[in-house]
Structures are given as structure tokens and as C-alpha cells.
């Protein structure tokens, strides 16, 4: 029997955290109809990612598999998330990233449509901007870009690369008519970022509604 190229105990620990996040996010209604995908970094060369098409609110550890950082399955016949390339890109581009969460809440989906024309949602003056790592005051500008949706993952990867190559800060992004991606050093920070973006987007949508 050949040895696995990753630590199977680490995979088990990550899979438990991913399943737990999935239960909580599904309970909030942010992962409808098998949508959404989650991952955690295993080591310098591998990530644990959800198997494609699974109900993200009922994940078991067997619903999480290993890919290399080019998105290729490792030691499994399972098919990884259709959006794996967006996860592995984050691990390649951000060496400190330890987890990536992608969800499809109504707030995220509606906001992505509303702000697609502007190409970003700009948050200014909200205390909750401080929930994003590195933000210490509400007197800051936090941009969440909105990229066009496509089934071609390499196009999306290219847009994210272009944004990063321009030197613009990036803590998450929306995909038009689709959902949000965000990440952090570990699952706890990533969940905090996701909750913060959800709250900030909901506030911006409320303001739009109320100021008509
Ligand atoms: C039914 S949702 C369509 C695909 C999607 O956007 C998603 O987040 C889930 O895809 P996966 O392959 O990761 O299950
Ligand atoms: Zn999706």
C-alpha cells in the first residue's frame, strides 16, 4: 500500500470543520439546493474541498476530498467541487489563507445583481468593516468586487488574478447572479469574514430600499 501524500489526520480535522460550517451556513439558508462549496488548506501542496453536488447542510467527513493546488483530485475517485479552481487559486495567491467559503445567500445573490454594473460594492463608515482582518476603523474603504458569472472557471480565475495583479486589496468577491467567495487564515476567521460581508451587504440593500 502506498503512503498518502498528505496527513490523513489533518484531513479528518479539516473535514469536521467543513461539515460543521456547512451545517451552520445551511441553517441560515445560505446554501440552497446543494449550492456552495468549502475548503481548507491541508499543507503547502494540498487542500480539502467538498465533493461536487453534495447537500452542504448534511456533509459527512466522506463528502470532503483532497485536491492538489492545481485542483487535481488526490488519491480519490470523487469529483471535486465544480468551482475548485477558485479555491486553489486563493491558496496559491495567499500563502496564509487556511480556509475558503463560498455561499449563495439571497442577500449575496441580490446584491451581486444590483452592483454588477458598478463592478464592486464599496463599504464606507460601517463599524463591521473592522471584522475584516487588518481593518481597524470604520473610517476606511472596503471594496468587494463583482465579477461576471461564467461556467468557464479559468475566466473567473483570470479576473481574480487581474484584480490581485493590479495590487488592489481583496478579501472576498461576488460573482454576478451567483454568490460570494471569501477566505481567512483559518475557518473561524473565514466564517467571520463571511458573516461580516453578509451583514454589510444586507445593510447596503436596506439603504437602497429605504432611500428610494
Ligand atoms: C446547484 S448550485 C450550482 C453550482 C454552484 O454554484 C455551487 O456552488 C455548487 O457546486 P459544487 O460542484 O461545489 O457542488
Ligand atoms: Zn456556487
Distance 177 CA to ligand 2 centre (A): 10
Q: How confident is the model at residue 77 (pLDDT cuts 50, 70, 90)?
A: very high
User: 35: Cβ below 6 Å to ligand 1?
Assistant: yes
pTM over 0.90: yes
Distance 122 CA to ligand 1 centre (A): 27
**Residue 81: per-residue pLDDT:** 98
> What domains are defined for the chain?
8-210 (3.40.225.10)
End-to-end CA distance of the chain: 66
C-alpha dihedral (5, 9, 12, 17), degrees to nearest 10 = -110
Residues ≥6 apart with Cβ < 8 Å to 94: 183
Residues 5/173, Cβ–Cβ less than 8 Å: no
DSSP the chain: -PPPSS-HHHHHHHHHHHHHHHHHHHHTT-SGGG--EEEEE-SSSEEEEEBTT--TTS--GGGEEEEETTS-B-S--SPB-TTHHHHHHHHHH-TT--EEEEE--HHHHHHHHHTTTTTEEEEES-GGGGGSTT---SSSEEEEEEEPP-S-HHHHHHHHHHHHHTT---SEEEETTTEEEEEESSHHHHHHHHHHHHHHHHHHHHHHHHT-
Residue 86 CB: number of other CB atoms within 10 A? 21
Q: How many CA atoms lie within 13 A of 106 on its CB side?
A: 3
Q: Is 178 annotated to bind ligand? A: no
User: 34: Cβ below 6 Å to ligand 1?
Assistant: yes
Residues 49/87, Cβ–Cβ less than 8 Å: yes
Distance 201 CA to ligand 2 centre (A): 18
Mean pLDDT of the chain: 98
- Give the cell for residue 152: 468557464
**Is the confidence at residue 148, as pLDDT, over 90?**
yes
Residue nearest atom 8 in ligand 1 by C-alpha distance:
36
- Give the cell for residue 73: 483530485
**Residue 174: per-residue pLDDT:** 99
Atom of ligand 1 nearest to the CA of 79: 12
User: 36: Cβ below 6 Å to ligand 1?
Assistant: yes
**Residue 212: per-residue pLDDT:** 73
Atom of ligand 1 nearest to the CA of 178: 6
Nearest to 78 by CA among 49, 117, 119: 49
**Residue 2: per-residue pLDDT:** 82
Q: How confident is the model at residue 170 (pLDDT cuts 50, 70, 90)?
A: very high
Distance 175 CA to ligand 1 centre (A): 13
Amino acid at each position: 500500500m502506498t503512503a498518502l501524500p498528505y496527513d490523513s489526520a489533518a484531513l479528518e480535522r479539516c473535514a469536521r470543520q467543513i461539515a460543521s460550517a456547512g451545517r451552520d451556513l445551511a441553517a441560515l439558508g445560505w446554501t440552497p439546493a446543494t449550492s456552495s462549496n468549502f475548503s481548507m488548506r491541508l499543507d503547502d501542496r494540498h487542500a480539502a474541498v467538498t465533493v461536487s453536488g453534495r447537500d452542504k447542510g448534511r456533509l459527512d467527513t466522506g463528502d470532503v476530498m483532497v485536491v492538489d493546488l492545481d485542483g487535481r483530485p488526490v488519491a480519490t475517485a470523487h469529483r471535486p467541487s465544480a468551482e475548485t479552481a477558485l479555491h486553489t487559486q486563493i491558496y496559491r495567491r495567499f500563502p496564509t489563507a487556511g480556509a475558503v467559503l463560498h455561499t449563495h445567500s439571497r442577500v449575496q445573490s441580490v446584491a451581486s445583481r444590483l452592483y454588477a454594473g458598478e463592478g464592486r460594492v464599496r463599504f464606507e463608515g460601517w463599524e463591521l468593516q473592522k471584522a475584516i482582518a487588518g481593518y481597524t476603523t470604520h473610517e476606511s474603504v472596503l471594496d468587494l468586487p463583482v465579477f461576471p458569472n461564467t461556467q468557464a472557471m479559468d475566466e473567473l480565475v483570470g479576473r481574480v488574478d487581474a484584480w490581485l495583479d493590479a495590487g488592489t486589496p481583496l478579501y472576498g468577491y461576488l460573482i454576478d447572479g451567483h454568490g460570494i467567495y471569501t477566505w481567512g487564515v483559518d475557518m473561524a476567521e473565514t466564517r467571520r469574514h463571511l458573516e461580516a460581508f453578509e451583514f454589510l451587504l444586507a445593510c447596503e440593500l436596506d439603504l437602497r430600499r429605504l432611500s428610494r
